[in-house]
Structure 1
Amino acid sequence: MTTLLLKWKRISLVQRILLGMILGIILALAVPSATGISLLGSLFVSALKAVAPLLVLLLVMSAISKHERGRKTNMRSIIALYAISTFLAGLTAVAASFVFPVQLSLGSGAENVTPPGGITEVLKSLLLNVVDNPVNALIKANYIGILAWAIVLGLALKNAHDHTKNMLVNLSDAVSQVVRWVIQLAPLGIMGLVFDSITTHGLSSMMDYGKLLLLLIGCMLFIALVVNPLIVYFNIRRNPYPLVLSCLKESGITAFFTRSSAANIPINMRLCEKLKLNPDTYSVSIPLGATINMAGAAVTISVLTLAAVHTLDIHVDFGTAIILSLLSAVSAAGASGVAGGSLLLIPLACSLFGIPNDLAIQVVGVGFIIGVLQDSAETALNSSSDVLFTATAEYAKDRKEGKDYIIHV
């Protein structure tokens, strides 16, 4: 048994996850009545959801409390890169939706979902989430509230004794280790999730929405492989692809299967350490990016909204398209603060075109159907770009200061 465990550990996590996927497909086709297998997927997802909020709180709080005056970070540059990437993601999705228009067969199935009523309601919700009770924020996984309390408590603890700060670091390290243990169980969890998806919806369930999925995932791939590399090149003036591909391989693939940017934080922190980035910067930028860097969400909102527009044969002028891109970017940045994530912000975007709420909710229902792949690709893009832009900001700073820097990929 020990020998088998050692051999299993020598296999990379990505290969083990792929093996779990294959086993999930085989078991779903061979023994679809074995419903206990799907429990593995539910346990895996529940474990990630349980530990991720506490992880964000402790990481940000300990990082800010240990930050000393005089230490320079690149947070302004990183936040600017997050915002630019998210806006360009929405703009790319709008352009692609006009070039490759997709129509939907709208039906029922999402009547119980309650979307926000407008941008004012979204902003109000975000502000209320900022001042949410910290215990309630942890229980409900309100990452906007968790982030706000982590920043406030971190600032309040800057003058605390070193023993207190070290205790916070030890706690954040311990929770990070728990997340790593959970992620090591990903092959079993993925096997259960794949089994449940196939036995519930069937292999052909995704074919009906194939064109929509191709457009969504195609846009996200274009952002990851074309738009983001251009942003990186503009800042560091070097070949961006070694860095881009390293982030996609070591962060994006894991995030694709775990479907949680917050749970992928330890993976991203380890990658930043491998890239020899400034710990004072990435200890804050990575948890922050898991909350507000949402290019994938901007793509989802834009594509599904315009799919509804094309279905209803609504004319869209250039100005409205730009407004949609901006609205998608702003909404995406607050998606984690709205129950249901990016899909529930689709009716908000649909309201730009006068689409009735009942039809917009049906579009949300379509989003839930394709959510297995859509959400995985969205998370992979979001999480991998957290590291990408953290590294880009640091390398750009070194270039401007005339320093000779090495990209450790």
Structure 2
Amino acid sequence: MKKLLRLYLRTSLVLRILVGFIVGSLIGVLFWTLSRSPGATVPQTVIGYITPFGQVFVHMLKMIVVPIIFFSLVVGASSLPIRKFGHIGLKTLGWYLLTSVLAAVLGTALALALDPGAGADLDAWRLLADGKTTEVHEIAEDIPEEGALSQILLNLFRNPFEALAAGNFLPIIVFAILFGLAIRVSIEAGDALRVKRLETLVDLLEACRDAMFELVDWILEYSPIGVLALSIVNFGLYGPSIVGPYVRVTLGVVCGIAAMVFVVYPMLLWAVTRRNPFGVLRRIKEPMIMAFITRSSAATLPVSIKTAEEELRIHNELASFSLPLGATINMDGVCVHLPMFAVLAANLFDVPLTLGALVVLVMTTVLSSIGAGGVPGGSLMLLFIILESMGLSAEQVAVIVALALGINPILDMFETMNNVTGDLVCSYAVASNENLIQSDSAKINDA
């Protein structure tokens, strides 16, 4: 038994995760197939026993997300000189906005090319939406009445303790950055005694952050088991959901995300760094896989920060600022995903898509993606914003959202992987441009 345990621990973590995903997927599809038989209850019963092992893994990741965001952002904001922080912050936001626009344009172009729902029988699609009306109403109730943009602005400034307890990321990020900047300003303007106290505080926060990263290592050792359980549950409940009438929608989203990850990001990286972009992608495969399984940018954040610092060699002051920010506002996968359902809705309900309407669609997609939330299924809420901006009625919106619910668990995997990849790529591009990569980064180029 000890020999098996040593062999397990010596095996690459990525390999263990991949094996867990493949084995779990096969078992899940088998359970899904068996559950189709009349009167079959055993597969669903077994899945019920397996579910907690996957949920525990996601909960463990979420347990450490909030403290990692807080400690990392405060340390990052307090480590950079004020002028440099402003410059890097604007450049990071610019990169996130650029990739989101590219993703929205790509998603819209693919949606127009594939034309999902063209010539389809609306009654047949309505049948697919049956059984999802309750979930649609629940999602609709969570949409803030104030509107997406105003709600985001209001949500930036909340009671920090309430936000920490609720895991509300935007106000945590704002408070942590402001707190870190206040420390930095005080250090730059204070007397010797005051500076010494503040530097002691920064050292304490760094120690807390380092302890959280050690906790990440412990959780990652459990990750193959969690991935195995999550894969069994996901595929056991939904099966090969990307068949039948959903094929064209799914094909468009998956192709768009593949183009972002393997074409757009490498081109941007090469243009900025002049290094082998696929070497960078190989080094971030662990958070990419984790994002695919957990379907949560926020839950993957601890792994993303660890990978950025240890594999990409990005300085902590940048990684601890850009990645928590990206997990909240940079949702490239959402920008690929939403236009596909918008074009589907236009075809089903005869909504004309003029050039002006397409420009509005791209802009609305980019702006609304900021509120996706970094959690599983966060993009579903944004569908209401996109579809209502097209002038659809409440009933029509409900049909499209119900259709999206049917396939969302599968699409969400690819979408979240795209989001996390975009965060790391943008952070690496900014780090290269600002000379915030440690000297042994040549390894990335040769990888």
TM-score (normalizing by structure 2): 0.81
Find the aligned partners of 1:204 and 1:12 in 2 and give their Cα distance: 29
Find out whether 1:77 has 2:113 as its counterpart: no
Are 1:119 and 1:348, in contact at CA under 8 Å, matched by a contact in 2?
Answer: no
Cα 1:337–1:192 change in 2 (3 A) is: closer
Return the match for 2:222 from 185, 190, 206.
185
Return the match for 1:267 from 282, 300, 303.
303
Comparing 23-32 with 74-83, greater Cα deviation is found at 23-32
Instruction: Give the fraction of aligned pairs with identical amino acids, expressed as a percent.
Output: 27
Return the match for 1:63 from 67, 76, 92.
76
Return the match for 1:94 from 108, 111, 116.
108
Residue equivalent to 2:157: 131
Q: Following TM superposition, by how much is the alpha carbon of 1:288 offset from its aligned partner in structure 2, in angstroms? A: 1.4
Find the aligned partners of 1:307 and 1:229 in 2 and give their Cα distance: 30
Q: Following TM superposition, by how much is the alpha carbon of 1:348 offset from its aligned partner in structure 2, in angstroms? A: 0.9
Number of corresponding residues = 404
Are 1:78 and 1:285, in contact at CA under 8 Å, matched by a contact in 2?
Answer: yes
Residue equivalent to 2:209: 172
Return the match for 1:280 from 317, 320, 337.
317
Secondary structure at 1:113 match in 2:
helix
Which AA in structure 2 matches 1:47? M
Structure 1 residues 260-339: aligned runs within 5 Å = 260-273=296-309, 274-336=311-373
Cα 1:113–1:390 change in 2 (3 A) is: closer
Which AA in structure 1 matches 2:301? I
Which AA in structure 1 matches 2:264? V
Find the aligned partners of 2:417 and 2:315 in 1 and give their Cα distance: 23
Q: Following TM superposition, by how much is the alpha carbon of 1:212 offset from its aligned partner in structure 2, in angstroms? A: 1.8
The structure number with the bigger radius of gyration is: 2
Cα 1:298–1:276 change in 2 (3 A) is: same
Cα 1:196–1:117 change in 2 (3 A) is: closer
Residue equivalent to 2:65: 52
Return the match for 2:430 from 393, 400, 407.
393
Comparing 149-158 with 289-298, greater Cα deviation is found at 149-158
Are 1:243 and 1:407, in contact at CA under 8 Å, matched by a contact in 2?
Answer: no
Residue equivalent to 1:367: 404
Which AA in structure 1 matches 2:319? Y
Which AA in structure 1 matches 2:14? V
Secondary structure at 2:226 match in 1:
helix
Cα 1:57–1:363 change in 2 (3 A) is: farther
Residue equivalent to 1:140: 166
Find the aligned partners of 2:241 and 2:277 in 1 and give their Cα distance: 38
Residue equivalent to 1:354: 391
Find out whether 1:8 has 2:13 as its counterpart: no
Find out whether 1:36 has 2:49 as its counterpart: yes
Q: Following TM superposition, by how much is the alpha carbon of 1:97 offset from its aligned partner in structure 2, in angstroms? A: 0.3
Residue equivalent to 1:122: 148
Find the aligned partners of 1:67 and 1:27 in 2 and give their Cα distance: 49
Q: Following TM superposition, by how much is the alpha carbon of 1:5 offset from its aligned partner in structure 2, in angstroms? A: 1.8
Q: Following TM superposition, by how much is the alpha carbon of 1:26 offset from its aligned partner in structure 2, in angstroms? A: 5.1
Q: Following TM superposition, by how much is the alpha carbon of 1:389 offset from its aligned partner in structure 2, in angstroms? A: 1.6
Find the aligned partners of 1:228 and 1:22 in 2 and give their Cα distance: 26
Find out whether 1:220 has 2:257 as its counterpart: yes
Find out whether 1:382 has 2:419 as its counterpart: yes
Residue equivalent to 1:154: 180
Find the aligned partners of 1:237 and 1:165 in 2 and give their Cα distance: 35
Secondary structure at 2:139 match in 1:
coil
Find the aligned partners of 1:120 and 1:323 in 2 and give their Cα distance: 20
Which AA in structure 2 matches 1:278? H
Secondary structure at 2:353 match in 1:
coil
Are 2:295 and 2:376, in contact at CA under 8 Å, matched by a contact in 1?
Answer: no
Q: Following TM superposition, by how much is the alpha carbon of 1:14 offset from its aligned partner in structure 2, in angstroms? A: 2.5
Residue equivalent to 2:38: none
* 1:238-289 deviation digits (Å, cap 9, x = unpaired): 5533334443x24322321232323333333333333333332222112211
Q: Following TM superposition, by how much is the alpha carbon of 1:345 offset from its aligned partner in structure 2, in angstroms? A: 0.8
Q: Following TM superposition, by how much is the alpha carbon of 1:85 offset from its aligned partner in structure 2, in angstroms? A: 0.3
Structure 1 residues 189-200: aligned runs within 5 Å = 189-200=226-237
Cα 1:327–1:119 change in 2 (3 A) is: farther
Secondary structure at 2:350 match in 1:
coil
Are 1:116 and 1:122, in contact at CA under 8 Å, matched by a contact in 2?
Answer: no
Unaligned regions of 5+ residues in structure 1, if any?
none
Find the aligned partners of 1:330 and 1:66 in 2 and give their Cα distance: 30
Find the aligned partners of 1:279 and 1:357 in 2 and give their Cα distance: 46
Q: Following TM superposition, by how much is the alpha carbon of 1:2 offset from its aligned partner in structure 2, in angstroms? A: 2.8
Secondary structure at 1:264 match in 2:
helix
Q: Following TM superposition, by how much is the alpha carbon of 1:219 offset from its aligned partner in structure 2, in angstroms? A: 0.6
Comparing 111-120 with 165-174, greater Cα deviation is found at 111-120
Are 1:143 and 1:337, in contact at CA under 8 Å, matched by a contact in 2?
Answer: no
* 1:301-338 deviation digits (Å, cap 9, x = unpaired): 22222222222232201121111111111111222289
Q: Following TM superposition, by how much is the alpha carbon of 1:211 offset from its aligned partner in structure 2, in angstroms? A: 2.6
Cα 1:83–1:337 change in 2 (3 A) is: same
Give the structure with the larger helix fraction.
2
Which AA in structure 1 matches 2:153? L
Q: Following TM superposition, by how much is the alpha carbon of 1:99 offset from its aligned partner in structure 2, in angstroms? A: 0.2
Are 1:300 and 1:343, in contact at CA under 8 Å, matched by a contact in 2?
Answer: no
Find the aligned partners of 2:142 and 2:51 in 1 and give their Cα distance: 32
Which AA in structure 1 matches 2:92? I
